[in-house]
Chain A
Amino acid sequence: MDTILVLLHTEADGTLAKPALEALGAAAELGGTLVVGLIGKDVQPAADSIASCGAAKYYGVSGDEFAQARYSSDAAAAEAICKEANPTVVIVPATSRWNRVLSGVAHRLGGRVDTHVTGVSRTEGALSAARWYYRQRMEAVVQRTHRPWCIALEAGCHEACAAGAGKATVENVNVILSEAARQTTVTGIKTVAADQQTIRPDAKLLFVTGAGWTKKQPDGKAHVEEAAKIILEFLQHSQASLGGTKSLVDLGGEGQTVLPFMTHLNQIGQTGSTPRHPKGLSTCCHGEEPHVIGWRFVNERRAINLDPNCPWAHGKADVLYVADALQVMSKVNELLAAKK
């Protein structure tokens, strides 16, 4: 029987984030012995918050050294917990913190790792993981003979564990960091001002903009400033997250006038991100299959484009409005402003 260890890290406020609860939820359904490992400054409150999740045991590595998301300390902590728990399967939420260390930990344990996993299941006793290859262009279901099998589960792929709070007994695992493990210190988080933030992972809507926003409009001129204003206004009204196609983001590198707030962090698709949002609205995009990857995990999709045959939208969007996006979106802004 499998021993399934769910490794979780606490957030800055000591709580567990939604992806952590989702990983726990997924693990709890797999059967076997569930064990939870927690890493953070103080892990007891987090353990208490999931006290009724059914875990047979809670391990914790805590202290100031483990508050920060740092490879050396996180890997040492995870390795130590794994050595105590001796799991056959390790599941973590695919946060940037776990993505940084999980495969190193798997290597230390002599195990194997799968990341960006979108589902774990058990069929006829065998554990399977669904994951993507070639930048979300093909999906595979894999099984492994090596143990421990370390799995990073993507956010939004499973219901969060609804375990109630209580009192959990956490077995503290003592980890002493070497001098070398302290060579790196996290000095801060760099973030753009809240009103300039255009990436909102929890937004209901992903607003995808294409290079068409910067191209010549029917009057033969480009209206980049106006386009920028319309886009920002819409983001402000709708609280949508902003995505850009590669061609739009790349324009910045070619010395063309571009949208000042659009960076590579906004880029979605083949060499960008593949965000998850319930809805997506694409505007002025044209591109083919690789670009469409950007909204593979967007459920409801609509598009505004002047080309009725736009392959970005055809067969990929639910609704395609053949229209001038600048015109439509400024009307949308008017309506949204009036609603408020």
Chain B
Amino acid sequence: MSTPYQIVVCGSIVPDPLQTLEPIATPNGPALKNEMMLPAVLDPWAKHALYEAANLASKQPGSKVYLVSLGPKAKLQQVMMTMAQKVPFELVAIDGSSSGFTEASEVAAALAAAIKAIPGVDLTRLLLFGGWESASRGAGSTLQMVGEQLGIINQFQGVDKLTCNADGTLEVLERIEGGKHQVSKCSCPPAVLGWATGMLPEPPNNPQIGMVNMRSIMPALQKAQPAAVGAQGLSFASVSLPKQQRTTKVIKDMPADEIASEIVAWVSQD
């Protein structure tokens, strides 16, 4: 027997990882230089979570995937152009800052409120997905707080695999130290799953999925509620780029044997 789930994926947008980032100070706290000009992508780990959600939904008839995303409306729209052809989902857009310098608890409150407001949402069938960390705040703390606000105490982080058994139980593989996985069994939803890389490849672009998604994405963006997320009570004494410039000694034309001896000597030193 398959269980239909309501899978809510929380995922915001982050600057395309290839861009050069530089912090600047503004009257509202730190920000990224040229932030609005930087091309954005869906947060990489949240993206994995979305693919896992879609894959699960396709195997559990009756399931539905929502992507709840907080970010500046124009940027969300831009990112949807690349995401909407990937997998079917319904967008819940929240218009606000996607900066990494905002406070996780404020973001969590906005996300939780948006999830509670999804028409027909059934918290007993809810699987709350997201990335185990974002590529912006990089803290891995928002999702737990959203879960707490929705009263979910089955929570998993660093998830690489979720198996939904026929008896309704969930088996979860979480990353732990030393390249190992902790295996847990959870008797029933709701549950929070912060995904690591997962097991799925990037789905190909599917124009038909895109066409269908876009019909609901555009109204969702138009309906996006503004959310004032900031960083109350948090102050930044400094934000700086690490000094990564080292003096590199370039050794050319040294025979492989000699290089090998040097490396062995270096590796063996304490």
Contact = CB atoms under 8 A, between A and B. Distances in A.
B177 A133 contact: no
Nearest to B30: A140
B244 A319 contact: no
B263 A281 contact: yes
Interface stretch (B17-25, B52-60, B77-85): B17-25
Interface in B173-217: 173-188, 192, 196-197, 201-202
Given A205-B267, A265-B179, A104 B144 contact: yes
Interface in A308-340: 308, 313-324, 327-329, 331-332, 334-336, 339
Given A96-B177, A183-B186, A316-B246, A271 B45 contact: yes
B141 A115 contact: yes
A323 B184 CA distance: 46
Contacts, number: 275
Interface of chain B: mostly helix, strand, loop or mixed: mixed
A115 B241 CA distance: 19
Contacts of B1: none
Given A189-B181, A192-B179, A267-B197, A143 B237 contact: yes
B260 interface: yes
A302 B242 contact: no
Given A144-B235, A187-B183, A265-B179, A296 B242 contact: yes
Contact of B176 (A69, A334, A336): A69
Contacts of A135: 17, 135, 138
A111 to B, nearest CB: 9
Contact of A290 (B18, B158, B184): B18
Contact of A320 (B101, B157, B186, B251): B251
B140 to A, nearest CB: 6
A316 B248 contact: yes
Contacts of B148: 104, 107-108
Interface string A246-270: 0000000110000000001111001
A307 B108 CA distance: 46
Nearest to B32: A134
B246 A315 contact: yes
B37 interface: no
Interface in A83-135: 95-97, 99-104, 106-108, 112-116, 128, 131-135
A100 B156 contact: yes
A162 interface: no
A265 B175 contact: yes
Interface in B222-254: 233-242, 244-254
Most buried by B among A103, A131, A142, A180: A103
Interface in A120-171: 128, 131-146
Given A183-B188, A264-B196, A188 B239 contact: no
B181 A133 contact: no
A321 B264 CA distance: 14
B123 interface: no
Contact of B184 (A184, A265, A302): A184
Interface of chain A: mostly helix, strand, loop or mixed: mixed
Contact of B147 (A104, A186, A201, A314): A104
Contacts of A270: 17, 44, 135
Given A134-B100, A267-B197, A335-B264, A104 B155 contact: yes
Contacts of A288: 18
Contact of A318 (B241, B246, B256): B246
B104 A103 contact: yes
B149 interface: yes
A102 B104 CA distance: 13
6 contacts: A113-B105, A133-B136, A143-B235, A292-B244, A316-B244, A322-B252
Given A100-B174, A200-B178, A316-B248, 19 more contacts: A96-B182, A102-B141, A112-B105, A133-B23, A136-B138, A138-B23, A138-B242, A184-B184, A184-B185, A187-B184, A187-B185, A271-B17, A281-B267, A320-B249, A327-B256, A331-B256, A332-B264, A335-B260, A339-B264
Which 5 A-B residue pairs are closest in the complex by CB-CB distance? A199-B179, A103-B141, A331-B260, A264-B197, A71-B155
Interface of B: 14-15, 17-18, 20-21, 23, 30, 32, 44-45, 100-101, 103-105, 108, 135-142, 144-145, 147-149, 153-158, 160, 171, 173-188, 192, 196-197, 201-202, 233-242, 244-254, 256-257, 259-264, 266-268
